[in-house]
Every structure is written in structure tokens, then in C-alpha cells.
Structure 1
Amino acid sequence: MPKRKAAIAVGGVAALGAAALLLPNANASQDGASADAAGAPRTMKATDASDLSAQLQKALGDAFAGSYYDSGKQQLVVNVVSGDNNLIVQAKKAGAVVRQVENSTSELKAAAQTLKTKATIPGTSWAVDPRTNKVLVTADSTVTGAKWNRLESTVQGLGSGMATIKKSAGTFKTFVSGGDAIFSQVQGGNVRCSLGFNVKASDGSPAFLTAGHCGVAAKDWSDSQNGQPIATVDQATFPGQGDFSLVKYNDATTQAPSEVNVGNGQTVQITQAVDATVGATVFRMGSTTGLHNGQVTGLDATVNFQSETDPNGVDTVTGLIQTNVCAEAGDSGGSLFTQDGGAVGLTSGGSGDCTSGGETFFQPVTAALQATGATLGDAGAGAGAGAGDQSGAGAGAGAGDQSGAGAGGDAVGGGDQSGATADPSATADPSATATDPAGTGDQSGTGAGDGSSLTQNH
């Protein structure tokens, strides 16, 4: 009996800027060369900065007050409040930029706890921003009147220099509906999400990670809108301490590739799970909007979503990664990863869209793996290779002819996306907006609802 291959393909045309930034360097080596002078800040890639930060956090103890990656200079900046000067000297010798700040980690955590106690309001979020050494509080467009007054009063009560507050034009929501990746039939209609990363479950069976709110919404998942289930939810967490699901493939012989398909015949091999670093450039792949990039803006974020089951309730999720990468409905569960193949996060929710931008929050992959007992490895650690002929991809990430057998029949989809191809030598702005308004070709018939995004080749 031939083994089946599970794969997820691109669900839309990716941003030209994101593709040009990512693809030429997807497998490039970054050696993190040391600075000329001993003890001077050294350049390094973001994953090395994350490792160094973890080491310095242990060495500095209570003096450590967070860190971030200066992507322009490719340097790690470490905040310190006090402590043994010898330790600070050692941090500098290790290659970090050391910065004296006012607020300690414990003080910032205490401020976040006060916000949780006094201002758990639907449409709000908060996360520590090491670049400002403050707690960044965000309120969406629904936080008005008495709710806004309560939030503002709580922030002011934290004291001067402890927190900042800003308004978001959109509404915080989970990105469940829309898209064309994985489907489930539930009472009242269909649920659609994006596959995140293929993994090996603790019992050795093939599985994948996606958003927890997807796993809570539905148990059985298919590769087509009305197809037979190919995977079943094993574990799901939402709301609470995370937003992640482990979904096992029903066929134990399913082969799940260790790569993210970013379109135009290009893939990024996923080699490890890595922790997010504030300031680092990251890439998001989703079945609705395709490939987009941006930066990590906060860690250990708390997000208060309006409950979808209780009009007066709130679904609070903690421990998330905050970014300025855009996302839209259907991108939930999709992959957040680094240029050099590190699995970072799973799309949870946020505000805005890929036209106006906004904030998007992600479940850390490292925490999801630890909680579920799953591992990245030989069973496949990526969002999958795109099936079929993708030679006609426009703007670097739109799938061309994605012919391939879907569950129970022919699931040819993708439409004609033979628009302008991204120039791999082009220089991209990491902050580029998420859509390519020109040269994307005819995107009609991208396969939403026809099952072309997740295929099985027998």
C-alpha cells in the first residue's frame, strides 16, 4: 500500500517584499562574526542572539531586565538595572550591548499582574517591550467609554514610566474563518484554519500543530471543504495558557515534510524550534494571505479576546508573541518562522488586516511542543511542501497549477496566478506592507473551498 503524503500549499499571493527578503537567503549561512576588539558588540543572527540572551539572563540574575535584537546593527541589546559590575563586563565581553534601565523584570511582571487583576477587558492586550523598558498596553476599537476610562486609570496607577497605552484601529479576534487550508464541518457551517508545523507525536505517530481555538472549534479536519476527515484533534488549549492544538493524522503512514512552502517553487526547510526575540525579523505563512514578514514587538503577551460563546465573556490567552506581521481570517494556526528555518509560532489572532496592517499574536512553538510532548524531526517539521506544479506562481508565492488528488477525488485548484515573478536579487524592506498590489496576475479561483491547499498524493 503506497504511503500518503500530506502537504499544505500556498493559499494566496505573497508580498513581493517578503518573498524578495526571504527567498534568496532561505538557506544562507550567517556566521555571526565577532567584532574586531575584545568585548566590543559583535554581529550575530537573531537565533544566536536568542541563545546568548538566555545565557546572560542566567548569569545576570535579578540584574537582567530583558533584551532585544537590533536588526539594523545585528546586535543583541541587554537591559540591566543593577548588579555586580563584573557580570556586566562579562556580558559585554560576550558580545552584547549593555544598557542601563530603570524597571526590573520583577517590576514589569508585577505591573502586568495588576493589569490582569484590574483591566481584563475584551479587546485589550499587554506585553513587555524591552526596547522601551515598559509594559505596552494596547486597546482595540471596541474599548471605549467606561472600559477605556478603567484601562487608562489602571495604567496611570502603575506609576510614571512603567507602562504606555495605545489604540488599535481594528478589533482583536481569532482568525478562524476564511482561507482554504484545513476544513471541518460543524453545526451551523464549516470552520477553516491553516496548518502550522508537521510534528511527531509522543507515540511516534505523524501529526501537526495548529491554533488551539481551531482545535476547540472542531475535532475532525479534512483537506477539502466537504471531504472526509484526514486528521483528528488529540489535544487543544484555548483559552488559558496558550493557543495550540496537536492534530494526529488518521493514516499512520502519512508522510509530513519538514518544510514551509513559500511559493514560486521555493521552500524553507524547518530544522528546529526557536524562541522569539524582540526586534527579530520573522515570516508568517497562512492559507488566506500567503507569505508576509515583520518584526517581533513583545513577548509573554496577554490578549483578551471577546468570547465567541458568551457575549459578556472574555477569552484570555497568556504567553503569546506579539508582532507587527499582518494576518486575516483563515490564517489561524499558520506558521511563523525565521529565515534560516526556525519554527517560532502559530498564528493566534489580532487586529487589522494585510491592507492596513495591525498587531498579530502567535503561540510559541517551543511551549506548544513542551505541552503536547510532540517533537520536530523526521516525521516532518514544516508546513508542508506544495503539491503539484507551482511553476506559475506570481510575486514569489502564489500557487500556480496545484493539481493533486484530494480526499475522495480530483482537487485541482489554484487558478491562473502567472503574474510577475519576484526578482530574487531584489532588496526588500522588512517592514514592507503585506500585499503586492501589482503584477500578481489573475488570482481568481485560488482554491478556497476546493481542497487544493492540503493534498494527499497516493
Structure 2
Amino acid sequence: MSHKRIPKRKAAIAAGSVVALGAAAILLPHANASQDGSSADAAPKTLKATDASDLASQLQDMLGQAFAGSYYDSGKQQLVVNVISGDKNVIVQAKKAGAKVREVGNSLAALKAGARTLKAKATIPGTAWAVDPKTNKLAVTADSSVTGAKWDRLTSTVKSLGADMATVKKSSGTFKTLVSGGDAIFAQAEGGTVRCSLGFNVTASDGSPAFLTAGHCGVAAKAWSDSETGQPVATVDQATFPGNDFSLVKYDDPATQTASEVNTGEGQAVQITQAADATVGEQVFRMGSTTGLHNGSVTGLDATVNFQSETDPGGVDTVNGLIQTDVCAEAGDSGGSLFTQDGGAVGLTSGGSGDCTNGGETFFQPVTAALQATGATLGDGGAGAGAGDQAGTADPSASAGDQAGGGDAVGGGDQAGTADPSATAGDQSGAGDQSGVGAGDQSGAGDQSGVGAGDQSGAGDQSGVGAGDQSGVGAGDQSGTGAGDGSSQTETH
């Protein structure tokens, strides 16, 4: 298989792709022109989330140190901008640009200083923090493994920052990296098979076809296949983890044709048109081969997550600059696509806590940062898959229905399941409870029990077999059997 041209439907293995980076709209001149000269009391503009993100970036540059963060009010479709300056001219400028303005107490510099204190004093496995512009505070989260002296250390550090600077909450699950995504990919590593997901097809800086996936996937194994027992079809070119969490993987066949879309099930797809920065408050969709399609909102940016090290039992794998969301994910979803309804490629699934029954936090590597670091561009460089290979366009606002485990998410024509990114947790037959597949349990084949070899036998069904087969063992089966048991031969991240 590695010596033949990959069929187009198999090249659609990535959960996404796009044609090119879109140019951001220049909003400020338009916004200023639309207001009268006395626009201190101008009403906030109605904006799409992507336009709000562009406006936020421009206001950050324009307002300088007075800018204290922003978020998107999806209900009112407005950009809310925090400012700390008492200079009324700053407020007038932001309002003239079309934003709703709030005066707050904490500057971004102060919040970042607080984050540095947390890093120095509370880098504990199972903790995470991010700036929450809605509260103008640092939102600190501790998973269920943070107890006793670790919990005391964390809470005392948060308390030292002050109640007006940071808050802390407990998460019911444990933070872990999750391997799998829009469509499943597989690699052989010491101890057994590793399963991840392809996020977005890209064109590498040398013009060759490639894809982005999670960095911890690329670190775990070098050669990747589109089926558990198939020959490798792609090779890791760059992989970064910890610190960041992205990999660039090049297809072995330079003639590979790739899909410029996210497969969402039942032959449906969402066309990806640009890379997009996340905005707090906007609605986003995640596609994963374990749990299929789920949606939620962005809750924080520039998040720091401290995973238990997979190689050092007493160590920490810290990843910075992540997107924090309330979208659920489970074991087997790593590397998969985070995208917007209007076709923006936003993130690559990194890790999180919880599951798609009880919910939880999931963190994503920003696509824009991965593209900048690797020199890749989204899309296929004009060589995209033929129209006959990509059936239908998904409507992200369609009703929920039968999204079970992502369906047969291997190519546009192989997709089973519905194309609804708004499917609820109840409709998504997931892989059971991933709470025992902690990062610390993921070093050996026995620990990574999420998907046993017996559950993924057919090459055609590898990337999204039904809920019952897709690592869809119960909570007890996914809890990590321990290296000594060796009961599962496929690691799911």
C-alpha cells in the first residue's frame, strides 16, 4: 500500500483540510465610517465570530496596554472588550470600532504575571489555567488526581494571587492526552499499536502533501497508516510535545490527493476555507473517530495544561498556548479537528478530562500556531479530491439524531453517521469512560486499553466503527489495565 497511489477516499483520512489561508477582513475603517462623530455612545456592532476575532486583534494593537482581553457574546453577536485605562478616549475608540466596552481591574500583564506565579509554584500534574476574559481572572482547574498536599499547594498559590485575580475549581475526570480524531490513523510503536487522528490536510513548505495531527502522536511513532493492519502511508516530518502539541506528517506518495474538508458522517462534510484564531465565547465543533461530532464553546485562550508525564512517572508534560473548551472528548480523539460552522480550521485535539456522557474540559492546539511553526499551508495546493469522492456538504445546524461513534469516518464516501456538529452527548455513543486512561497510564500497551485490537478489525471501519466497536468498551474496559496485564494492544490517545 505504501508503494501505490493512495485512493482518494483513503486520502480523505484527515478529518479536514482547506484551500488557503483567508485574509482577515479590515474591520476598523468600515466600523469607524459607519459611526457618527459623537460615537462615544454608539451601539455595538452585530458581528460573526470570525469578524469579532479580527476586530479583537485590531483593537489589541490599537489600544495597547489598555486592552485587557475580549470575548464574543454569541447571544447578542457582539464583541465585548475589556479595558483598564481610565482614559475615556480609549473607550471611545473601542466603541467607534464596533465593540461593547467593559472597564475592568486586571490588565493582561497582571494576569500573565499571575500565570507565571502558578507555573513557578503550582506546576502539578492534573492542573490547568487560562485567562477568562468574562471574569477578568485566571481560571484554574484541578482534575480528580490533585488531592492532599498537591491540592493544598495549588489552592494556597491561587489564594496568594488574590480572590480578584484567580479562581480554582475541581474537574471530575483526569487530564490526559487522547489519541484519535476525525478519521483514525495507526502506527506501530514499542508495546503495540498507537491510534491517533488526522486533523487537517496541509501542503508542506516544500509543496508535498501532508497533514497535521497532535504532537504527542508524532512523538509516539514515526510511520502512520490509515488502517490498523495496513502498511504505513505517511511519515512524521516534525513533532513537538510537550511545550506545544502538533505534528506535521508527510504522505509517502507525493501524488496523494487530499480532501479539503472535515468529514462529519453519512457522506457529509464541512468545507474548510481558512485557518481561524479561536475567540472566547464562540461556538465550535469537534470531530473524532471515537465519539463522532460534538459541539460547545471556547472558554479560554493561551491555556497551560500540566499532563502527567507518559515517560517519567514523577514528571510533568506541560503544554502552553492551548484553546480551552467545554466540548467533550474521549480516548481516541487526539489530533482531530476543531472547526467553526463557517469553515474555519481552529484546533487539533490535545487532551482533557471527562467524557461525552458527563462532559468535561478539552484543550486544543491552535492550528494557526502549528502552521506558522511548520511552514505548512492549509489545503491541497490545488490538487484536491474529485467531486465524486466527496459526497454532500454538512449543515452544522442540522438536528442531532444518529451520530454513533463517528460512523465509518474514512473518506467522503465511507462516512456513516450524521453530519450534525450539534449532536448532544446523549446521541453520541462514545467509547465509555476514559478516566482511567490517564497520561501516567499510557506508557505501555496494557495501559492504553482504550481500543483493543479486536475492536478494530476491518480496515474500512478503522476510523469510525460503530459505537459498539469503536473503542466503545465500557468504562471498565477503558480504565487502563496496567502494563502487566497487556490486555489491550492498541493505545488510544
Q: How high is the TM-score relative to the length of structure 1? A: 0.82
> Which has the larger displacement, 95-104 or 82-91?
82-91
Q: 2:346 maps to which residue?
A: 344
Q: 1:363 maps to which residue?
A: 365
Q: 2:381 maps to which residue?
A: 379
Contact 2:257-2:380 within 8 A present in 1 as well: no
Q: How far off its partner does 1:235 sit?
A: 0.2
Q: How far off its partner does 1:160 sit?
A: 2.8
Q: Distance in 2 between matches of 1:226 and 1:212?
A: 22
Match of 1:186 among 184, 189, 192: 189
Taking a change above 3 Å as real, the CA distance of residues 182 and 48 of structure 1, as seen in their structure-2 partners, is same
Q: 1:434 maps to which residue?
A: 425
Match of 2:251 among 245, 249, 253: 249
Q: How far off its partner does 1:112 sit?
A: 0.1
Structure 1 moving runs of 4+ over 6 Å: 32-37, 177-180, 380-391, 399-404
Q: 1:17 maps to which residue?
A: none
Q: 2:76 maps to which residue?
A: 73
- Within 5 Å, which residues of 2 pair with 1:185-204? 185-204=188-207
1:155 aligned partner, one-letter code: V
Contact 2:356-2:428 within 8 A present in 1 as well: no
For the pair 1:212 / 2:218, whether they are aligned, the reply is no
Q: 2:282 maps to which residue?
A: 280
Q: Secondary structure at the match of 2:163?
A: coil
Q: Distance in 2 between matches of 1:187 and 1:401?
A: 28
Q: 2:66 maps to which residue?
A: 63
Deviation string, structure 1 residues 204-256 (Cα, Å, up to 9, x no partner): 0000000000000000000110110000000000001x100000000000011
Q: Secondary structure at the match of 1:288?
A: coil
For the pair 1:99 / 2:102, whether they are aligned, the reply is yes
Taking a change above 3 Å as real, the CA distance of residues 383 and 353 of structure 1, as seen in their structure-2 partners, is farther
Q: Distance in 1 between matches of 2:391 and 2:370?
A: 33
Q: 1:395 maps to which residue?
A: 401
Deviation string, structure 1 residues 381-438 (Cα, Å, up to 9, x no partner): 99999969899x993655767898xxxxxxx988xx68xx78x8xxx9x6x7423179
1:450 aligned partner, one-letter code: G
Deviation string, structure 1 residues 100-135 (Cα, Å, up to 9, x no partner): 000000000000000000000000000000000000
Contact 1:183-1:223 within 8 A present in 2 as well: yes
Q: Distance in 1 between matches of 2:64 and 2:383?
A: 34
Contact 2:297-2:325 within 8 A present in 1 as well: yes
Taking a change above 3 Å as real, the CA distance of residues 116 and 40 of structure 1, as seen in their structure-2 partners, is same
Q: 1:23 maps to which residue?
A: none
Aligned-residue Cα RMSD (Å) equals 3.4
Q: How far off its partner does 1:262 sit?
A: 1.2
Contact 1:263-1:396 within 8 A present in 2 as well: no
Taking a change above 3 Å as real, the CA distance of residues 383 and 454 of structure 1, as seen in their structure-2 partners, is farther
Q: How far off its partner does 1:91 sit?
A: 0.9
Match of 1:140 among 143, 154, 157: 143
Contact 2:126-2:307 within 8 A present in 1 as well: yes
Identity rate, percent: 74
Q: How far off its partner does 1:308 sit?
A: 1.1
Q: 1:158 maps to which residue?
A: 161
Q: 2:355 maps to which residue?
A: 353
- Structure 1: unaligned runs, 5 residues or longer: 11-31, 405-411, 439-445
Q: 2:45 maps to which residue?
A: 42
Contact 1:232-1:249 within 8 A present in 2 as well: yes
For the pair 1:296 / 2:301, whether they are aligned, the reply is no
Contact 1:180-1:449 within 8 A present in 2 as well: no
Match of 1:330 among 325, 329, 332: 332
2:97 aligned partner, one-letter code: A
Q: How far off its partner does 1:265 sit?
A: 2.7
Q: 1:110 maps to which residue?
A: 113
Q: 1:18 maps to which residue?
A: none
Q: How far off its partner does 1:55 sit?
A: 0.5
Q: Secondary structure at the match of 1:164?
A: strand
Contact 1:258-1:384 within 8 A present in 2 as well: no
Contact 1:206-1:248 within 8 A present in 2 as well: yes
Q: Distance in 2 between matches of 1:403 and 1:85?
A: 55
For the pair 1:8 / 2:13, whether they are aligned, the reply is yes
Q: Distance in 1 between matches of 2:385 and 2:199?
A: 5
Q: Distance in 2 between matches of 1:437 and 1:301?
A: 27
Deviation string, structure 1 residues 136-181 (Cα, Å, up to 9, x no partner): 0000000000000000000011123000000000000000279971
Contact 1:9-1:453 within 8 A present in 2 as well: no
Match of 1:167 among 149, 165, 170: 170
Q: 1:232 maps to which residue?
A: 235
Contact 1:281-1:296 within 8 A present in 2 as well: yes
Q: How far off its partner does 1:261 sit?
A: 1.1
Q: 1:20 maps to which residue?
A: none
1:271 aligned partner, one-letter code: T
Contact 1:115-1:155 within 8 A present in 2 as well: yes
Q: Distance in 2 between matches of 1:334 and 1:386?
A: 24
Q: Secondary structure at the match of 1:8?
A: coil
Contact 1:41-1:96 within 8 A present in 2 as well: yes
Q: 1:313 maps to which residue?
A: 315
Contact 1:174-1:348 within 8 A present in 2 as well: yes
> Which has the larger displacement, 359-368 or 179-188?
179-188
1:161 aligned partner, one-letter code: D
2:201 aligned partner, one-letter code: N
Q: Distance in 2 between matches of 1:285 and 1:331?
A: 8
Taking a change above 3 Å as real, the CA distance of residues 403 and 149 of structure 1, as seen in their structure-2 partners, is closer
Match of 1:126 among 94, 113, 129: 129
- Structure 2: unaligned runs, 5 residues or longer: 16-26, 394-398, 430-453, 464-493
2:368 aligned partner, one-letter code: T
Contact 1:281-1:338 within 8 A present in 2 as well: yes
Contact 2:180-2:288 within 8 A present in 1 as well: no
Q: Secondary structure at the match of 2:198?
A: coil
Taking a change above 3 Å as real, the CA distance of residues 224 and 437 of structure 1, as seen in their structure-2 partners, is closer
Match of 2:460 among 446, 452, 455: 452
Taking a change above 3 Å as real, the CA distance of residues 289 and 383 of structure 1, as seen in their structure-2 partners, is farther
